[in-house]
Structure 1
Amino acid sequence: MNKYHDLMIIFLVTFPLLHANAQTTFVKDDEKTILLKLKSYLRNSSDIQQRWNLSSSPCSWPEISCSHGSVTGINLKDKNLNSTPPIICKLKNLTRISLASNIFSGLFPTALYNCSKLRVLDISFNQFHGPLPTDIYRMSRLTSLDLTGNNFNGTIPGAVGQLSELKHLHLRNNKFEGSIPREIGNLSNLESLDMSYMEKFELATIPEELGKLKNLKQLRIIQSNLIGNIPETFSSLSSLRYMDLSVNSLTGSLPVWIFGLEQLRYLYLQSNGFYGSLPTSIGELKIFRLDLSSNRLSGKIPFKYDKESEILLNLTEENLIGRGGSGNVYQISVNEDRSHVAVKRICNDRKLDNNLEKQFFAELQTLSGIRHVNIVTLICCISNEKSKILVYEYMQRCESLISPAKYVALTWDARLRIAIGAACGLCYMHHDCSPPIVHRDIKSSNILLDNELNAKVADFGLAKVLAKHGHTETASAVAGTFGYIAPEYAYAAKVSMKSDVYSFGVVLLELVTGEEPVHRDEDMNLAQWAWKHIEEDKLFEDALDEEIKESANLKAMNDVFKLGLMCTNKVASVRPSMKEVVQVLLLLATNHHS
Structure 2
Amino acid sequence: MSKIPLSILSLLFLIFPFHGTSQTSTNSEQSILLKLKQYWSDPAPINHWNSTSTHCDWHEITCTNGSVTGLSLINTNINGTVPPFICDLQNLTLIDLQYNYFSGPFPTGLYNCSKLKILDLSQNIFTGPIPSDIDRLSAQLQSLNLSGNIFTGDIPTAIGKFPELRILRVFLNGFNGSFPSEIGNLSNLEVLEMSFNNFSMMAIPSSFTQLKKLKELQMRESGLMGEIPETVRNLTALEVLDLSINSLTGNIPSGLFLLNNLTILYLFRNQLSGAIPQVVEALNLAEIDLSANNLNGTIPDDFGKLTKLSGLDLIFNQLSGELPASIGRLPSLEVVKLFNNNLSGVLPPDLGKYSMLKEFQVPSNHFTGNLPEYLCANGALTGVIAFDNHLTGELPNSLGNCRSLLIVQVNGNQLSGSIPSGLWTSIHMKALILNDNLLFGQLPDKLASNLSRIEISNNMFSGEIPAGVSSWKALTVFNASNNHFTGTVPQGLTALPHLTTLLLDGNQLSGHLPSDIISWNWLNTLHLSRNQLSGPIPAKIGSLPSLTDLDLSGNELSGQIPPQIGLLKLTLLNLSSNLLTGTIPVEFENKAYDNSFLNNSGLCATNPSLLGIDVCSSGPQNSSKILAVIVSTAAALFALAMFFMFLVVKTYRKRKCGLDSKWEFTQFQSLNFSELDILSSLTESNMIGSGGSGKVYRVVLNRWGKVVAVKKTRNIRKLDEKVEKEFLAEVQILGTIRHSNIVKLLCCISSETTKLLVYEYMENSSLDRWLHGKNQRLSVSGPVHHAVLDWPKRLQIAVGTARGLCYMHHECSPAVIHRDVKSSNILLDSSFNAKVADFGLAKMVVKHGETNTMSVVAGSIGYLAPEYAHTTRVNEKIDVYSFGVVLLELVTGREASNNGDEDTCLAEWAWRHIQDGNPLVDALDEEVKEPCYLDEMTCVFKLGIICTGTFPSTRPNMKEVLQILLSCCSHRPELGEKIDGSENAGSPLLKNSRRERLLDDEDDSLVSNV
Normalised to the residue count of structure 2, the TM-score between the two structures is 0.32
Asked whether the 8 Å contact 2:884–2:943 carries over to 1, the reply is no
Code of the residue aligned with 2:584 in structure 1: it is: I
1:147 matches 2:434:
yes
Equivalent-residue separation in structure 2 for 1:181 and 1:205 (angstroms) = 10
Equivalent-residue separation in structure 1 for 2:374 and 2:996 (angstroms) = 48
Equivalent-residue separation in structure 1 for 2:775 and 2:426 (angstroms) = 39
Which residue is equivalent to 1:98?
385
1:240 maps to which of 516, 523, 527: 523
CA positional deviation for 1:89: 2.4
Code of the residue aligned with 2:429 in structure 1: it is: L
**1:492-531 matched pairs, under 5 angstroms:** 508=945
Equivalent-residue separation in structure 2 for 1:509 and 1:248 (angstroms) = 49
CA spacing shift, 1:415–1:149, aligned 2, 3 Å: same
CA positional deviation for 1:174: 0.2
1:181 matches 2:412:
no
Code of the residue aligned with 1:181 in structure 2: it is: P
Which residue is equivalent to 2:926?
459
2:366 maps to which of 75, 80, 105: 80
What is the percentage of aligned positions where both structures have the same residue? 20
Which residue is equivalent to 2:244?
13
Equivalent-residue separation in structure 2 for 1:302 and 1:374 (angstroms) = 22
Equivalent-residue separation in structure 1 for 2:429 and 2:559 (angstroms) = 43
Code of the residue aligned with 2:790 in structure 1: it is: Y
Which residue is equivalent to 1:431?
901
CA spacing shift, 1:121–1:57, aligned 2, 3 Å: closer
Code of the residue aligned with 2:458 in structure 1: it is: N
CA spacing shift, 1:61–1:17, aligned 2, 3 Å: farther
Structure 2: which 5+ runs fail to align? Answer: 1-156, 158-175, 180-223, 229-241, 247-265, 270-284, 289-304, 341-355, 595-606, 610-766, 779-783, 797-805, 810-875, 904-908, 935-940, 956-988, 998-1010
CA positional deviation for 1:107: 1.4
Which residue is equivalent to 1:231?
514
1:132 matches 2:350:
no
1:301 matches 2:584:
yes
1:122 matches 2:409:
yes
Which residue is equivalent to 2:728?
none
Deviation string 1:154-173 (CA, Å, 9 cap, x unpaired) is x31426x2433211111110
Which residue is equivalent to 1:210?
493
**1:109-508 matched pairs, under 5 angstroms:** 109-137=396-424, 139-153=426-440, 155-158=441-444, 161-198=446-483, 200-201=484-485, 203-308=486-591, 392-396=788-792, 416-417=881-882, 419-421=884-886, 422=888, 425=895, 428-431=898-901, 457-459=924-926, 508=945
CA spacing shift, 1:444–1:302, aligned 2, 3 Å: farther
Asked whether the 8 Å contact 2:393–2:414 carries over to 1, the reply is yes
CA spacing shift, 1:8–1:505, aligned 2, 3 Å: farther
Equivalent-residue separation in structure 2 for 1:398 and 1:275 (angstroms) = 38
Code of the residue aligned with 1:14 in structure 2: it is: I
Deviation string 1:127-175 (CA, Å, 9 cap, x unpaired) is 111222344456232111111111012x31426x243321111111001
CA spacing shift, 1:286–1:116, aligned 2, 3 Å: same
Equivalent-residue separation in structure 2 for 1:110 and 1:553 (angstroms) = 63
CA spacing shift, 1:193–1:85, aligned 2, 3 Å: same
CA spacing shift, 1:553–1:547, aligned 2, 3 Å: closer
Which residue is equivalent to 2:603?
none
Equivalent-residue separation in structure 1 for 2:948 and 2:423 (angstroms) = 51
Asked whether the 8 Å contact 1:27–1:59 carries over to 2, the reply is no
CA positional deviation for 1:197: 0.5
CA spacing shift, 1:292–1:215, aligned 2, 3 Å: same
Code of the residue aligned with 1:144 in structure 2: it is: A
Equivalent-residue separation in structure 2 for 1:238 and 1:43 (angstroms) = 45
Asked whether the 8 Å contact 1:133–1:157 carries over to 2, the reply is no
Asked whether the 8 Å contact 1:220–1:244 carries over to 2, the reply is yes
Code of the residue aligned with 2:514 in structure 1: it is: P
Equivalent-residue separation in structure 2 for 1:9 and 1:372 (angstroms) = 42
CA positional deviation for 1:27: 7.4
Equivalent-residue separation in structure 2 for 1:94 and 1:105 (angstroms) = 21
CA positional deviation for 1:98: 0.7
CA spacing shift, 1:3–1:142, aligned 2, 3 Å: same
Deviation string 1:324-364 (CA, Å, 9 cap, x unpaired) is xxxxxxxxxxxxxxxxxxxxxxxxxxxxxxxxxxxxxxxxx
Equivalent-residue separation in structure 2 for 1:310 and 1:135 (angstroms) = 45
SS in 1 for 2:399: helix
Which residue is equivalent to 1:404?
none
CA spacing shift, 1:246–1:427, aligned 2, 3 Å: same
SS in 1 for 2:550: strand
Code of the residue aligned with 1:130 in structure 2: it is: G
CA positional deviation for 1:94: 3.2
Structure 1: which 5+ runs fail to align? Answer: 20-24, 65-69, 315-370, 383-387, 401-409, 448-456, 463-480, 482-503, 515-545, 555-594
Equivalent-residue separation in structure 2 for 1:31 and 1:187 (angstroms) = 44
Equivalent-residue separation in structure 2 for 1:416 and 1:148 (angstroms) = 35
SS in 2 for 1:429: coil
Deviation string 1:22-51 (CA, Å, 9 cap, x unpaired) is xxx9779x9974757999xx99756988xx
Normalised to the residue count of structure 1, the TM-score between the two structures is 0.51
Q: Which has the higher contact order (CA 8 A, sep 6+)?
A: 1
SS in 1 for 2:542: helix
Code of the residue aligned with 1:106 in structure 2: it is: G
CA positional deviation for 1:57: 11
Asked whether the 8 Å contact 2:790–2:928 carries over to 1, the reply is no
SS in 2 for 1:224: coil
Code of the residue aligned with 2:490 in structure 1: it is: P
- Look at both structures and tell me which one has the larger radius of gyration over its CA atoms: 2
Equivalent-residue separation in structure 2 for 1:195 and 1:416 (angstroms) = 37
Asked whether the 8 Å contact 1:380–1:391 carries over to 2, the reply is no
Code of the residue aligned with 2:578 in structure 1: it is: N
CA positional deviation for 1:85: 2.9
CA positional deviation for 1:506: 12
Residue correspondences, number: 393
Asked whether the 8 Å contact 1:399–1:445 carries over to 2, the reply is no
Code of the residue aligned with 1:139 in structure 2: it is: S
Deviation string 1:450-489 (CA, Å, 9 cap, x unpaired) is xxxxxxx512699xxxxxxxxxxxxxxxxxx9xxxxxxxx
Equivalent-residue separation in structure 2 for 1:210 and 1:263 (angstroms) = 17
